[in-house]
Amino acid sequence: MAGTRIDPGDCDDGYDSALFDASAWPMSDDESGPADADEVDEGPLTAPLSHVRFCVIDLETTGTGLEARITEIGAVKVCGGEVLGTFQTLINPGESIPQFITSLTGISDLTVADAPRLRQVFASLVEFCRGCVMVAHNARFDMGFIHRAAIGLGYSWPSNTVVDTVSLARRVIPRSEVSNYRLGTLAQYFSTTISPSHRALDDAMATVDLLHGLFERIGNRGVRTLEDLLQYSATITKARRAKKTWADGLPHGPGVYWFVRDDQSGRKVLYVGTSKHIRRRVATYFTASESRRRMEEMVSLATGVEALRCHTALEAAVVELRLIVAHQPPYNRRSKQPRHVWVKLTREPLPRFSVVRQVLDDQASYFGPFPGAGAADEAVLAMLEAFPLRRCKDRLALRHGREPCALAQMEVCGAPCTLQGLPQYEQLVDQARQCLAGDARPVSQACHRAMRALSSQCRFEEAGEILQRLRWVEYGLRRQARLTSLAACPQIVAARQVDQCWEIHVIRHAQLAGAGVARPGDDPHRISEAIAATAKTVEPPVGGIPASSIEEAGLIASWLEQPGVRLIQIDGTWGWPINTLSDPITTR
């Protein structure tokens, strides 16, 4: 498949060349991934090799460093020894190709002058490789470029399984038979039909023959399936492979599993995970498909694995979260306790904004939570644009006034400490309290006025800072509305159809109190009534915060907001405020 020829012009590729540090790939999920719910489907691991679709890929680039760009892509799709299709295109890298690269590959600036940019052809490459196991000679290099191009261009790469013919050749062919493991040397050794030429498609075709030659050599060594191939080509200790039997007694279906270590000091939970298929997922920890360095270390320390079957994926995610909070497993990224903070409008004679780490039942007004004190401080600064309450932290009484401070002299504080203008200050506090209840229009108006004034003076950086503070106010108010509204509901019974079943959840004060499944032929209403009758009793929360953790309430809210969720019963009002942060001056 040839890429469409276009005028490259001066358009940007849409990716940062710094992403192309091939030496940094592959990166472990513990360093780059966002979640611990590690359901990983590596494809048909038990499929015979003759039924597996392989996509052999090769790249030509402008070099190997951080600034290197792709100049040519060649890929061949094969299955059962038959070529199913090819993909080939030159790429205009948007920069000059070094002379030594031109002398090696024959690709010059003139060669790629009319070639498309990477962004024009990458979607086609993604579709060509979809459903295939990737193969490359020195896969760390080629797949490193591809992986980072996918990130930079906003694509989800369709394959996580990679076979490196260099690693496989090192296992199969002794060094006494070849001088090195370069593609040219191995192509000559196996007498490939096409000789490598430092052009992408030729090298990919040569790698196809090399792959088939290696398959012939390992067929009599018990390598029959993709899983066998991954295990054979990787270095897995016998001790790790022997622990695969741990998965045999685990349940099928969705749930939570945790690796433990028993020693003289007692039992310690090392890692907690969740999966749609517990037994199958745990089994992958003892094969080459689990390549994360921290997981390999964790498995070597573990003395066993246990599991709990759950009714639904949401229940599994909540149980996983609770176990992580309870045991603080060292190999989970989410083990650190989040440090949530709130902005509080204090209850005292002269109220002020304060950043606190706990919501009390003290009749004060709160909004948040925020991910840290820095974000909350930024939100307070935006609130002060609209409501210039006092900034001092002193406890002030209404009996004796005092001299105005420097902030009052700078006219950034109304100086209520002087006991002058107290009715106006009380009115300002009431307006701030109304804002924290969900009407952020005064803050929006004040911040936009300040931004326009700064922009008219060409003070754009300061205007940008105010915009960021306004966004933190929006973040806090939206998160507060989302969670406190849910926490105020004594009971919500909701269902969502997954496959042919209905997943039913009972939620009380933003805590998951019960879960179950209505299968085909069951009456969902009767099942929901039975789940509600046996669900956990949850006491009303203090101060309007969720009865569960903030993270659990967020999981539940996200599930409720999915398309297709149906409310069977709701006790209370679950809703969001209308008056948020649209600019009334510019909005039509």
Best CA proximity match to 577, nearest among 438, 446, 462: 438
The amino acid occupying position 197 is S
CB atoms within 10 A of CB 22: 21
String of DSSP letters for 356-380: ES---SSS-EEEEEESSHHHHHHHH
Q: How far is CA 517 from CA 256, 506, 533, in A?
A: 17, 12, 15
Task: Say if CB 501 and CB 517 are below 8 A apart.
Answer: yes
Furthest-apart CA atoms within the chain: distance in Å: 98
DSSP letter assigned to residue 95 = S
CB 516 within 8 A of CB 504: yes
Residue 19's closest CA among 153, 138, 185, 170?
153
Single-letter residue type at 397: A
d(CA 431, CA 10): 52
Helix axes 441-456, 422-436, angle to 10 degrees: 100
Host H or E run for residue 162: strand 162-164
Q: Catalytic pick from 137, 147, 198, 340?
A: 198
Long-range contacts of 86-90 (CB under 8 A, 24+ apart): 86/1, 86/201, 86/204, 87/1, 87/124, 87/125, 87/128, 88/1, 88/2, 88/200, 88/201, 89/1, 89/2, 89/3, 89/115, 89/116, 89/121, 90/3, 90/115, 90/116
Got the DSSP string for 365-426?
A: EEEEEESSHHHHHHHHHHHHHH-----------SS------HHHHTTSS--GGGT-SHHHHH
Distance in angstroms (rounded) separating the CA atoms of residues 371 and 375? 7
Q: For residue 186, with 0-12 CB atoms within 10 Å meaning exposed, 13-18 middle and 19 or more buried, which class applies?
A: buried
198 is catalytic: yes
- Output DSSP code: residue 66: T
Of 515, 512, 519, the closest CA to residue 504 belongs to: 515
Q: Which two tokens stand for residue 328?
A: 């603080």
- At a CB cut-off of 8 Å and minimum separation 6, what does 383 contact? 343, 353, 432, 435, 443, 473
Give the pair of three-digit tokens for residue 48: 């015979």
Q: 454 is written with which tokens?
A: 């700064």
Q: How many CB atoms lie within 10 A of CB 529?
A: 14
List, by residue number, the catalytic residues. Answer: 198
